[in-house]
Amino acid sequence: MIKGDIVVRGGTVVTDSWSGPATVVISGDRISGVLDGAAEVDAARTVDATGMLVLPGGVDAHCHVGLPLGAYTTRDTFSSATIGALAGGTTTIVDFAIPGPGEDPLAVLRRRLAEAETSRCDYAMHGCISSPDGSIPATVHAFAEAGVRTVKLFTTYRDLLMVDLPTVRQVMTALSDVDGLTYVHAEANDLVEEAQREAERAGRIGASGHAGTRPVAAEERAVADVLGAAEHTGAPVYFVHQSTPGAVDLVVAARQRGVRAFSESCPHYLTLAADRYADPAAERWVCCPPLRDRSTVDELDRRLEMGFVDTVGSDHCCYDSVQKAEHADDVRQMPNGMPGVETRLPVVFDRFVASGRISAERFVALTAAMPARLNGLYPRKGTIAPGSDADLVVFDPAATRVVTAGALHMQTDYSPYEGREVTGWPVTVLSRGRVVVDRGAVRDPGPVGEFVAAGPITAGG
């Protein structure tokens, strides 16, 4: 008889490459076996997954926890954000070490890693470079030695984070030397600033006019420019939070030319539309890029359905309604972003799997396997296999729930999906063999999350 500490039986195990009835055996913090459903296992605890999907723990490669940016800092801490992540079925987050003006990127990374020691789930980190100088190669190599092989760059936010194309090429080249990957927030800043000036002249610079202040053309031109840099250097590139089908199409066309390029989108760009800016509390949906019109959302969804979107990250940015409303009359001053780490899996499952648009295997690829691969965390994270971490989500594909901020665990008083009914919700969650959500009840495991160092990232996953 096979022995283990926990056995998960009766469910349909799903990875990005297969699914079927199976029994998962956990010994310590690792998966020790994926067996035929009839296998006999001697374990201290049995988790009954009958009628459920058994998924790898989600990997959210786009989280901003306790983010200080400009005049505002998001309301959450690594403790509270990762409780929310676990409640929503995400067992690994990847956060950002974003320097302020004049700060040393490596010092910021050390500070962020120290702050993350209160995490309840495992975590990795992206570096960030926000100013050009001769130390970029040395900085990138130091990042890699510290277990960080992804570096985020911004083509917008002048005088705060924006870098130029020569800097983009320099970072790409340096990351290629360490088997890393460049992450890019792509918006052409000159077009953004021009649109914002026009909006101010027209009296549309408040939250209700946000969609017009960061136009589609700004995103798509910046994507094209960065793809040119990737093609020139031969380096891989990953675009965060793509919000338009045109941006995704540019990446697809570049891949056909041999460029190693990847598209991430987010639940809010795949479900919510710019009509939210007609709401009296329009500021709650201000994010960058902005929500797009419904026809654009529908076309972006089709790109995901066709397999052209590689990952879905939350872009979790947990401001509260008071922070969002303080400068609702001027989107240039108000904080941009929305809370979402906890609702990522249910919202995407409801939109695409429950509706029959994609398979459960594809859902796992988008939310766990590909984020793990493109951050150097696979196969420790993102799959269900012997030797992988025992990060599992017993997910009820038929459960319905109305999203309300009061029932969530994130440190904010609103959700962008408030009142939305979704089908599919985590029932039981295990994080490295610990049961942290038990039949819907969240159990705080304490600060047990570990930093997961990134291994070499092989382009293409």
Interior CA angle at 244 toward 243 and 249, to 5°? Answer: 125
H helix or E strand, kind and range, residue 165:
helix 165-177
The partner residues of 94 in beta bridges, in order of sequence, read 124
Rounded-to-integer distance, Cα 50 and Cα 396, Å: 10
Least confident of 66-70, 321-325, 382-386: 66-70
Domain ranges for the chain: 2-55+385-442, 57-373
Report residue 440's pLDDT band, with 50, 70 and 90 as the boundaries.
very high
pLDDT confidence of residue 400: 98
Tell me: pLDDT of 459 over 80: no
pLDDT confidence of residue 461: 44
Return the closest-CA partner of residue 55 out of 94, 93, 104, 18: 18
Cα→Cα distances 24→42, 121, 360, 364, Å: 12, 21, 18, 17
At 152-163, the pLDDT tens digits run: 999 999 999 999
For residue 383, give the amino acid letter: T
Q: Is 250 exposed, middle or buried (0-12, 13-18, 19+ CB in 10 A)?
A: buried
At 391-439, the pLDDT tens digits run: 999 999 999 999 999 999 999 999 999 999 999 999 999 999 999 999 9
Tell me: pLDDT of 457 over 70: yes
pLDDT confidence of residue 427: 98
Residue 212 CB neighbours (<10 A): 18
Take residue 15 and report the two structure tokens written for it. Answer: 């990875």
Tell me the pairing of strands 237-239 and 53-56: unpaired
Taking residues 28-44, what's their average pLDDT?
Answer: 93
Residues 263-277 as b or e (16 or more Cβ within 10 Å = b): bbbbbbbbbbbbebb
pLDDT confidence of residue 38: 82
Tell me: pLDDT of 100 over 70: yes
At 73-88, the pLDDT tens digits run: 999 999 999 999 999 9
Q: Measured on CA atoms in the order 166, 170, 173, 176, is the torsion positive or negative?
A: negative
For residue 137, give the amino acid letter: P
pLDDT confidence of residue 115: 98
Taking residues 179-198, what's their average pLDDT?
Answer: 98
pLDDT confidence of residue 328: 97
CATH of domain 2-55+385-442: 2.30.40.10
Q: Are 422 and 348 in contact (CB under 8 A)?
A: no
pLDDT confidence of residue 1: 76
Least confident of 32-41, 193-202, 270-279: 32-41
Return the closest-CA partner of residue 54 out of 6, 4, 5, 13: 13
pLDDT confidence of residue 347: 98
Average pLDDT, the chain: 97
pLDDT confidence of residue 460: 53
3-class SS of residue 224: helix
At 317-370, the pLDDT tens digits run: 999 999 999 999 999 999 999 999 999 999 999 999 999 999 999 999 999 999
Take residue 154 and report the two structure tokens written for it. Answer: 């911004």
Q: Are 352 and 364 in contact (CB under 8 A)?
A: no
Take residue 99 and report the two structure tokens written for it. Answer: 């320097």
Longest dimension (CA), the chain: 75
At 125-143, the pLDDT tens digits run: 999 999 877 799 999 999 9
Please give the CATH architecture assigned to the domain spanning 57-373: Alpha-Beta Barrel (3.20)
Taking residues 241-268, what's their average pLDDT?
Answer: 98
At 48-63, the pLDDT tens digits run: 999 999 999 999 999 9
Rounded-to-integer distance, Cα 247 and Cα 220, Å: 5
- State the Rg of the chain over Cα: 21
